[in-house]
Amino acid sequence: MECCKMIRAGIPPSWKGSKMRPIDWSETFEQHWKSAQSGSLIRFWEQYSLHDSSWIGAWFDPLHERAVLAFHWDTFWTENRVPYPGNEVEHWPTLLIRLNKFILSYYDKYDSVDFASNAICGASTRPVTREEREPLLTGLSSGLQLAVSGTDYLFQESLVLTTILGDMGKWHFLHDDHVDFLCLLEDGQAVVIPSV
């Protein structure tokens, strides 16, 4: 019950008791994103990595067609461009990536997993060509045909497919390439990610 209340309030369970300011999904939600940086995930992965980072979770906002991906970010791999507080995960910065024009997500779980963890091996984002959009979207909607009205934007947007590779499988997210980044230190203060 406590966990459900926290998720509804926008507080990931792993943040319980931490100094981190919770993400408020209510009317003040946008206040937390004033320090965010906008950019392209394709360009972000050219400079940064989620290698050795770990999932906190993913939250979906269907009303505004957005999703937020949250990670304990192992900034060791940023070559000191983002502060690295040491090898203890609880002190790592929290990286929030808000996907705009979020369309869908799906999960490819590995057949056999010897152990379960939230560890991330890597991530990538690639453009989705016009030729592959309708078959991809139709296939992922259980064979239903795309409606004529309301889907035109799917062919006008700069759609990309982001894949997060973890120990247990791959998470895929279809969204617009324009995203927002928010990196928070342990005390909840936002830190600038250079060259985003």
What are the extents of the domains in the chain?
2-27+39-191
Question: DSSP assignment, residue 102?
Answer: -
> Residue type for 1, please?
M
Q: Note the pLDDT tens digit of each residue in 146-173.
A: 555 556 666 666 889 999 998 888 999 9
This prediction's pTM = 0.79
Tell me the three state secondary structure of residue 154. Answer: helix
Q: Does the pLDDT at position 49 exceed 90?
A: yes
Report the 10 Å Cβ neighbour count for 96: 22
Give residue 85's pLDDT.
92
Check: CB of residue 180 under 8 Å from CB of residue 68: no
Mean pLDDT over 94-115 rounds to 83
Give residue 129's pLDDT.
86
Range with lowest mean pLDDT among 10-14, 62-66, 147-151, 172-176: 10-14
Structure tokens given for 159: 């759609």
Tell me the pLDDT band of 144, cut-offs 50, 70 and 90.
low
Q: Which helix (H) or strand (E) holds 171?
A: strand 169-176
157 vs 3 pLDDT, higher one = 157
Percent of the chain's residues with pLDDT above 70: 69
Mean pLDDT over 160-189 rounds to 91
> ∠88-89-90 over CA atoms, to 5°?
95
Q: Does the pLDDT at position 130 exceed 70?
A: yes
Positive or negative: CA dihedral 113, 44, 30, 159: negative
Give residue 187's pLDDT.
84
Give residue 8's pLDDT.
36
Q: Does the pLDDT at position 12 exceed 80?
A: no
How high is the mean pLDDT of the chain? 78
Report the 10 Å Cβ neighbour count for 26: 8
Positive or negative: CA dihedral 98, 161, 46, 168: positive
